[in-house]
A and B are shown apart, each in its own frame.
Chain A
Amino acid sequence: MKKRLFSLLAVAILAASACTSSSTSPSAAAPGTTGPAVATPVVTPAVTPAAAGGTIVVGLDGDMVFADPALTSDGNSLYVAAQVIQGLVGLKPGTISEIIPVLAAALPTVSTDGKVYTFKLRTGVKFHDGTTFDAAAVKFNYDRWKAFPKGDLQDNAYYYGAVFGGFGADSNLVSVDAPDATTVVFTFKTPQSNFLISQTLQVFGIESPAALQKDKADTTPLKDNKYAQGQGESMVGTGPFKFSEWVPGDHITLVKNPDYYDAAGMAKLDKITFKPMGDSTAKLQALQSGSIDLAETISPADVATAKSSGLTILDRGQSCNLGYLGLNQSVGGKATIYANKNVRLAIAQAVNKQGYIDAFYAGQGKVPQSWLPAATTGYKAETMPTYDVTKAKASLTAAGLTADKLKVDLYYPSNVVRPYMPDPKALATAIAGDLTAVGFTVTLKSEDWHGGYVKDATNGNLSMFLFGWTCDWAGADNFLYTAWFGYQGGKPNLQFGWKNDAANALMLKALSEPTVDAANADWGQVQDMLATDMPTVPIVNSTPPGAYTSKVQGFVGSGNAIEYFNTVSLSK
């Protein structure tokens, strides 16, 4: 009774405190990687007896976009699809780059020139519609993606174009052949070192050819595409859960696949309901009240409250993102002070990264030792500048700039929370303080994330700015080439204006190496170049926090936020 009275009195206090509550949503995490309902997942031992069956309600960061993963690139769609659709290869649960065979019986054999990959497939696997998974189904899917026509399908199938360099004749993937029912052969124009890791992406999951054809999955405009809209027999894969229902904006329901081919990976739950919840405060309250069992992400600002409420914070282990301070050497065709290497070095020495992580990331971040998260394929630890005010001042003196040149703008985004940037304004304010301490005069400037910030940053209109990248797949190429330093249209990325022909050539070489080891050696050299030149200042590798109630057991988190629910059970 006393507690109830207290609760009622709390309304008035909350009325004031809620005014300051963040209503912005944390962004979706990694538009991730695919994965299996693997045969032997790493399962956290159950602490209390768990009941088989039941329904778990999961607060998703937003709604799915399409029920056909081939047409998606957003984290929400892929989070759901990971339970239903499987690819030839996937990632060991809890890791971001340990590749394991899923629908393939083993990892492929690769020709010595790196142009031909041969997979042997699992046998006895059925799609959810009862048809047989075989080499012809794999060929059908890859041929389908390659043949996507210009327009809606190509526009939405971002990953196929990005991974294979285009569609149709532009694709580096020459052919996919099925010489027999259990063998698939991939042939490339040029070797492609990121092929295997990129195929762990859920968008390369194999769907039932019969279902794709039955509901005319290539129909455009997409409003008439029953398969993509989830209104037909959609998302028909081979995973431990089957697609059941999608009420847009309200929920997505998956049910257990009782005919799953791998007894060890059989789902324990009867049903998963994904509830799109954009608002972080609502999500936390829903966890506290038991309306949902698990939240894909919560705001780092809510971590302490969640812990004190008895919720468990997801252990996402290996980070798959990097937040950085962008320094643009050329804005509007004019060189900025950041073209001066000593200025960049001074900034790198002036920023107290560990201090920011302690203050703003709720223990969910690490200081980067390179431009990649540590678990990424191709990662090489570099000797990075450490926080040292004296050295920073010396570097700034060496830059030889007058005081008026040291008046700089620092941009941060408003109305957004990203895993690598949970409180952009606070982070920018702290960085501005550190830069001021070594001799800069900093003016903080802000733009709305959706209302111009992203566009201005990527179009090269911001000189110094906060930004970050969440991995698509945990390969060096995805960060170093795709996200940042690969030349676009033959020119340096407008974000940084960092002209380095040698690094660009080395990245192109790495991409077309016949083996991953050879590529990794190249990526290591690229990181050496970056450490020497400091084109940007890496700030943090973070893991997006999520949370679940004490009922949830056996959940294995992953830094790329592609997580599998077949190992999850609910206690009574």
Chain B
Amino acid sequence: MLRFIVRRVLGAVPVLLGLSIILFLFLRLLPGGGPAEAILGQHATPELVAQINHTQGFDQPLYVQYFAYLGRLLHGDLGSSVIDGRSVVDTFLVRFPGTIELTIGALIFAVGIGIPLGRLAARHPNSWIDGIVTVISLFGISIPVFVLGYSMAFVFSVELHWLPQVGQLDPRLDIPVVTNFSVIDAILSGNWHIVDALAHLILPSIALGSIPLAVITRITRAAVIDVSNEDYVRTARAKGLTDSRVNDRHIMRNAWLPVTTVIGLQVGQLLAGAVLTETVFTWNGVGSWVVKSIQDHDFIVVQSLILIFAVIFLTVNLIVDVGYAFLNPRIRYS
């Protein structure tokens, strides 16, 4: 197992290196202005742009810029924003907790509802129940996140005033920022402010979790039906085992494998989806930061964030692969 993990980690190095080159070149070869134009706004005369590009080293040959970037990267320095001068790591530490909370919220929604729905549909294949579940999953997978987000905000915030729509916490509550995890900060502040933090999580979590919900529902349904048709399940039933025992120990245990794979892959999707969801709900996370940095042509931030995303994605996949061994003892890595 350890050799497998080491091999996977080493295998990620050329992937990340290649990604860094592609990102570096792609961002700098984009048409239009660079960060100097974003800094200067309407004052961006060619002279001032050239002055800032010189200060920041953007007028150096690309290979010089790349190796300087790579050198910093190898020293663990992800650079600083050209716009506000902040270290990428510092800002990441402020914003990433927000994205983690949102991702966990979306996963709880998607898994918590998707798996029971999938199981329900699988138990009644081709019935009206199955039909309703299929429609729900089609709805989830086909409606864009921002459409769902705005629509829910309109209904539940603007019209019904049931749920908040902006940010992670009500700024009027004076909750001190301690950990940048809004739920934890709310707990620390006492006064039942956790209710406010959780209320803020509901709409963005549903919007972000809608696509994973649909995918997980469909995969669970298919996996359960597949396994249910296996000979050993029929044998188990013939032996007179109860339905719940057959479902839990023979069907679900084997159906977990593809479902776990999909859940792992959805984490990557959630990071991508966070870009839109965080914008719609003014959520202070990494996703909305990506949007802002792209708009500002803040090369350093964008390339560093995408690299971080890649590392997270690879790590989650590794964890999923390792998790297989625990879910299915027949799998052995060497």
Contact = CB atoms under 8 A, between A and B. Distances in A.
Contact of B282 (A15, A253, A286, A470): A286
A549 B330 CA distance: 63
A278 interface: yes
A304 to B, nearest CB: 16
B289 interface: yes
A459 B150 contact: no
Nearest to A467: B42
Interface stretch (B16-24, B159-167, B242-250): B159-167
A155 B55 contact: yes
Nearest to A162: B43
Contacts of B291: 278
B127 interface: no
Contact of B84 (A10, A11, A65, A448): A65
A225 B280 contact: no
A501 interface: no
A372 to B, nearest CB: 16
Contacts of B158: 285, 288-289
A326 interface: no
21 contacts: A4-B160, A15-B143, A15-B148, A18-B146, A19-B147, A55-B172, A57-B171, A155-B39, A158-B43, A222-B85, A248-B84, A249-B91, A249-B95, A279-B279, A285-B150, A285-B154, A288-B158, A291-B166, A447-B32, A452-B32, A454-B37
Contacts of A225: 85
B46 A248 contact: no
Contacts of A276: 282
Contact of A247 (B39, B94, B152): B94
B91 A248 contact: yes
Contacts of A4: 159-160
A275 interface: yes
Given A222-B86, A250-B98, 11 more contacts: A18-B146, A62-B292, A73-B40, A156-B39, A222-B84, A249-B91, A250-B167, A281-B150, A291-B167, A451-B31, A452-B33
A455 B42 CA distance: 10
Nearest to B51: A155
Interface of B: 30-33, 37-48, 51-52, 55, 80, 83-87, 90-91, 94-95, 98, 143-144, 146-148, 150-155, 157-161, 164-168, 170-172, 177, 180, 279-282, 284, 288-289, 291-292, 295-297
Contacts of A334: none
Contacts of B94: 247-249
Given A155-B51, A223-B87, A277-B166, A285 B153 contact: yes
Contact of A282 (B44, B46, B95, B279): B279
A157 B280 CA distance: 33
A164 to B, nearest CB: 15
Contacts of A282: 150, 153, 165-166, 279-282
B176 to A, nearest CB: 9
A507 B145 CA distance: 53
B167 A275 contact: yes
B42 A279 contact: no
B273 to A, nearest CB: 15
A23 B148 contact: no
B130 to A, nearest CB: 23
B295 A450 contact: yes
Nearest to B98: A250
A462 to B, nearest CB: 13
User: Which of the listed residues A245, A291, A452, A454 has the most CB atoms from chain B within 10 Å of its own CB?
Assistant: A291
A560 B143 CA distance: 40
Interface in A372-401: none
A247 B282 CA distance: 14
A222 B83 CA distance: 10
Given A23-B279, A291-B157, A14 B150 contact: yes
Most B-side CB within 10 Å, residue of A245, A286, A290: A286
Contact of B177 (A23, A245, A275): A245
B151 A275 contact: no
Contact of A286 (B143, B155, B166): B166
A451 B30 contact: yes
Interface in A94-142: none
Given A229-B85, A249-B94, A454-B44, A273 B143 contact: no
Contacts of A275: 166-167, 171, 282
Contact of B165 (A150, A248, A273, A285): A285
Question: What 6 A-B pairs are tightest by C-beta distance, nearest first?
Answer: A222-B85, A451-B32, A452-B32, A250-B284, A273-B171, A289-B157
Interface in A137-180: 150-152, 155-156, 158, 162
A259 to B, nearest CB: 21
Contact of A454 (B33, B159, B279): B33
Contact of B33 (A18, A23, A221, A450): A450
A7 interface: yes
Contacts of A489: 47
A469 interface: yes
B166 A15 contact: no
Nearest to A11: B151
Nearest to B180: A247
Contacts of B87: 223
Interface in A207-266: 221-223, 225, 228-229, 245, 247-251, 253
Given A152-B55, A469-B42, A452 B31 contact: yes
A494 B47 CA distance: 12
Interface in A18-47: 18-19, 21, 23, 31
A372 B73 CA distance: 49
Given A152-B55, A249-B94, A291 B164 contact: yes
Contacts of B292: 62-63, 249, 278
A48 interface: no
Contact of A483 (B37, B42, B164, B297): B42
A45 to B, nearest CB: 26
A282 B151 CA distance: 11
Contacts of B177: 245, 247, 250
Residue with the highest number of chain B CB atoms closer than 10 Å, among A162, A222, A488? A222
A23 B291 CA distance: 12
A292 interface: yes
Contacts of B279: 23, 278-279, 282
A10 B44 CA distance: 45
A65 B155 contact: no
Nearest to B285: A249
A167 to B, nearest CB: 12
A502 interface: no
A279 B278 CA distance: 10
A286 B154 CA distance: 9
A228 B81 CA distance: 14
A439 B203 CA distance: 54
Given A8-B155, A10-B155, A18-B150, A488 B45 contact: yes
A155 B90 CA distance: 22
Contacts of B80: 221-223
A18 B147 CA distance: 6
A8 B144 CA distance: 18
B33 A228 contact: no
